[in-house]
């Protein structure tokens, strides 16, 4: 095998790697913020999937996620018609709430 051929094979392997490393099939689950509730209030997804939060209320909501490790992630304010997409790379149970309306709660189980 010539040196050029070896380099060509190495280049092909490098180009193919990102495709092989990509998640098999990341899915997106829709959650609505409607009538001061998360709808649905519980979803189960796979690690690597995303959740798209949509605000269908004519008021501002917030997305705050309490992570399984005890930390909390404030994903910001969600206004009418706006979407906030959050990825969940690690398994565990995540509790989501709205800082503005404390009764708004939901759970995301990541398998």
Choose between 26 and 86: whose C-beta lies nearer to Cu ion.
Answer: 86
Q: Is the distance from CB of 61 to CB of 101 less than 8 angstroms?
A: yes
Among 47, 86, 100, 107, binds Cu ion (CB under 5 A): 100
63 binds Cu ion (CB under 5 A): no
Instruction: Pick the stretch among 22-30, 64-72, 83-91, 99-107 that binds Cu ion (CB under 5 A).
Output: 99-107
Which residues face 74 on adjacent strands?
A: 64
Min dist. Cβ of residue 51 to Cu ion (A): 16
77 binds Cu ion (CB under 5 A): no
Choose between 33 and 110: whose C-beta lies nearer to Cu ion.
Answer: 33
DSSP letters for 1-47: --HHHHHHHHHHHHHHHHHHHS-S---EEEEEEETTEEESSEEEE-T
101 binds Cu ion (CB under 5 A): yes
86 binds Cu ion (CB under 5 A): no
CA distances from 103 to 16, 48, 69, 74, 100 (A): 48, 28, 23, 17, 9
Give backbone dihedrals phi and psi of 5, rounded to 5 degrees, phi first: -65, -40
Window 1-60: residues binding Cu ion (CB under 5 A): none
Site residues, Cu ion (CB under 5 A)? 61, 98, 100-101, 104
């Amino acid at each position: 095998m010539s040196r050029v051929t070896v380099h060509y094979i190495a280049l092909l392997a490098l180009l193919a790697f990102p495709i092989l490393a990509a998640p098999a099939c990341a899915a997106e689950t829709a959650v609505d913020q409607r009538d001061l509730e998360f709808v649905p209030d519980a979803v189960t997804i796979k690690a690597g999937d995303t959740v798209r939060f949509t605000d269908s209320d004519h008021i501002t909501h917030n997305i705050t996620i309490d992570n399984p490790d005890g930390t909390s992630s404030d994903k910001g304010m969600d206004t009418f018609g706006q979407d906030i997409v959050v990825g969940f790379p690690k398994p565990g149970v995540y509790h989501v709430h709205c800082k503005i309306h404390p009764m708004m709660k939901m759970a995301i189980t990541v398998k």
